[in-house]
Structure 1
Amino acid sequence: MTPELKLRIARPTDHWDELLRFYREGLGLELLGSFEDHDGFDGMMLGAPGAPYHFEFTRQKGHTVGPAPSQDNLVVFYLPDTAQWQVAVARMEAHGFAPVPSYNPYWDRMGKTFEDPDGYRVVLQNATWPR
């Protein structure tokens, strides 16, 4: 693995519009691209332009995905600047997304956890990734 690699987190959803609102309005990510009826799937990619990561969410007509398998399925964003972290948390709350207690209490010490419409969780961590 090399630093120039890009990361795509891809998963299906049953909550298309609600998920778009959570990641775009709440987290402030941008819709980077989308597709319709590609071999029976619709998809959307959300992320920060130029960032080495993005999310892809898909749906397949007539197929039900179901909720996240556990409350400990996490994506963690490290926001070391306290002011930037506070803005990110306030944006989530302003769009109606309240923090939830983390399954693992470690994440509550320096972060806030939010649950997306599929039950997957996003942690906004006010810390630096140490590695």
Structure 2
Amino acid sequence: MKFRFARHTNNLEKLKSFYTTVLGLEVLGSFENHATYDGVFLGKQNLNWYLEFTQSDEIVEFNFNEDDILVFYPETLVEYDSLIENINKNRINFTTSKNPYWNQNGKMVLDPDGYRIIISNLKVK
């Protein structure tokens, strides 16, 4: 089974930059003016998941809960340290999670739309 997480945004380029520059995801594909939608697919080659972000003329009113998060598990310490370094280099502030589990087992940042992202070293080999 493959997994695709799709979300609409007001600023496609800003999200694309965050997820590629800061989190190291790759652009797997994109489209323009598909029934008035532009979009980008982000992830890593040869994995069974990717993120899709779309933008149209419709203004998004974000409605999310503090427990709505995406969790990324780097597989190596080098990958984990690189992500944390990218976050710091881009002057992105870490924030506290509502769920104490993530404060002990990850580092939380907000993406440009305000959605919560956790980088966790729990799966580091």
Equivalences for 1:75-90 in 2 at 5 Å? 75-79=70-74, 81-90=76-85
Tell me if structure 1 keeps the 8 A contact 2:74–2:120.
yes
2:31 corresponds to which of 30, 35, 50: 35
1:46 corresponds to which of 42, 45, 48: 42
Residues 87/75 of structure 1: CA separation in 2 closer, same or farther (3 Å cut): same
User: Distance between the aligned counterparts of 2:96 and 2:31, measured in 1?
Assistant: 35
Pairs aligned (count): 124
Aligned equivalent of 2:2: 6
1:24 corresponds to which of 2, 20, 25: 20
Which region of structure 1 is more displaced relative to structure 2, 111-120 or 81-90? 81-90
User: Distance between the aligned counterparts of 1:116 and 1:94, measured in 2?
Assistant: 15
User: Distance between the aligned counterparts of 2:13 and 2:88, measured in 1?
Assistant: 18
Aligned equivalent of 1:105: 100
User: Distance between the aligned counterparts of 2:63 and 2:84, measured in 1?
Assistant: 22
Percent identity between the aligned chains?
A: 35
For each residue in 1:69-128, what CA deviation from the matched residue of structure 2 results, as whole angstroms up to 9, or x when unmatched? Answer: 222210111235334312211112212222111121211112101101111111101102
Q: Could you say what secondary structure the match of 2:96 adopts?
A: coil
Q: Residue 67 in 1 paired to residue 30 in 2?
A: no
1:92 corresponds to which of 84, 87, 90: 87
Gaps of 5+ in 1: none
Cα RMSD for the two superposed structures: 1.6
Runs of 4+ in 1 over 4 A off after TM superposition: none
User: Distance between the aligned counterparts of 2:107 and 2:24, measured in 1?
Assistant: 16
Q: TM-score, normalised by structure 1?
A: 0.86
Gaps of 5+ in 2: none
